[in-house]
Amino acid sequence: MEAYDRVREAVRSGAELSPVYLLYGDAELLKEELVRDLRRRLVPGDAAAFDYHPVPGEAPEGQADPLIEALDAAGVPPLAGERRLVVVGERGWFSSAAEERPRADEDGPPEEGPAGEGSGQGGAEPLEPAPGADRGLERLLAYLESPSPFSCLVLLSRGLDRRRRATQRALAAGNAVPCFTPEGQELVRWVVGRARGLNKSLDTEAAWCLVASVGRDLGLLAREVEKLAAYAGQSPRIDRAAVELVTPWGAQNTVFAMGDALGEGRVGRSLELLRDLLGRGQAPLRLLSIIAWHFRMLYAARTLLEEGCPPAELARRMGIKPFLARKFSRQAAALDRVRLERAMLALHQADLDIKTGRLPAPDALEVAWLRISGPEPSRSSLV
């Protein structure tokens, strides 16, 4: 999220703004909050009535496209604000037909290649739309050739296909800002930062528990953090006990509990928790990702302990909190390196089975769980 954070800080600090921002990705909350920051800076208070021009994602059928009027207004100096602000909803002009998400850690527009983001089907688009095909798009392309110095244009899109003419002109005119839902530790850091913005200290264990309970929906996570801050009252700290009490369901049915059961070889309990989580609508790939992280931590703990690393040094060497290091070292001590490697291979195979459609996601996870917790396979079974 570094690119997103840099742009948001520039908006808040009063730094020079780009005339065009293309916000792309699946995280609607991140887009909404960046647009809100731009509104507060450029068209605060009553200025919004004159200089803020939101344009819907779909042009009204049988009516003039409001985008054309908004772009015409963008060329006129603002009446009350610092600049006019034009925000255009998703219209599919910047995405490929079958949009795929770029890398989760990406900080800029995805690179293209034969099988990469934006490769699509059917070759490149024409450099210009067919005459009369979409007057809104034609007007936008003309505007992007020479953006108005009086305005800031914000374009919203779920994806980014750099072969498309609209994308090329938007990138030439301004900045593309990735707005994707963070994952794993980055998501936990986002939750901790959200609490910090409310003057609360949310420890890492509590943040992991919250993510396990709520999932990756940033809007839901933000609301739960607000609830936790209100529950904490005058206390500056939010701990795991508060999360388990306030959030929708507690520790018995969390991903943490499932990971612990799996790491400790309690296959029956881990399968029970897996089925419960899936039944509550948790995404199979998200569960797989968290369990894969769990076993990577176990492998790292086992390796460090074999190298003679003092238990007190594990947390620093692994880059995690001491309570997590203690838990992983305890579980890792009961598992040899071969078993841990077998677990990671089983999780990798489950990922392939799900993504290729070889097995339904719940079945692929259960098979992986059984392979991890089951007895060591005989040599004959491997032939």
Whole-number pLDDT of residue 294: 85
Nearest 10 degrees: CA dihedral of 376, 380, 381, 383?
120
Q: How far apart are CA 149 and CA 75, in angstroms?
A: 8
Beta bridge pairs of residue 20: 153
Residue 50 CB-density burial (10 A; 0-12 exposed, 13-18 middle, 19+ buried) = middle
Task: Please write the tens of the pLDDT for every residue from 357-379.
Answer: 999 999 999 999 998 876 554 43
Instruction: Please give the CATH topology (third level) of the domain spanning 2-178.
Output: Rossmann fold (3.40.50)
Please tell us whether the domain made up of 251-377 is placed in CATH 3.40.50.970. Answer: no
Task: Please write the tens of the pLDDT for every residue from 66-88.
Answer: 899 899 999 999 999 999 999 99
Whole-number pLDDT of residue 248: 63
- CATH class of the domain comprising 182-248: mainly alpha
Whole-number pLDDT of residue 225: 94
Q: Is the pLDDT of residue 103 over 70?
A: no
Beta bridge pairs of residue 237: 201
Q: How far apart are the first and last CA of the chain?
A: 45
φ, ψ of residue 21 to 5 degrees: the values are: -125, 130
Region of poorest pLDDT, from 89-93, 323-327, 334-338: 323-327
DSSP 40-92: HHHS-GGGHHHHEEEE-SSPPTTS--HHHHHHHHHTS--SSSSSEEEEE---S
Average pLDDT for 218-232: 92
Q: How far apart are CA 145 and CA 173, in angstroms?
A: 7
Contact between 95 and 160 under an 8 Å Cβ cutoff? The reply is: yes
Region of poorest pLDDT, from 30-39, 90-99, 171-180, 317-326: 90-99
3-class SS at 86? strand
Token pair listed for 239: 């701990």
Say what the pTM is: 0.62
Q: How far apart are CA 266 and CA 359, in angstroms?
A: 24
Contact between 90 and 163 under an 8 Å Cβ cutoff? The reply is: no
Residue ranges of the domains in the chain? 2-178, 182-248, 251-377
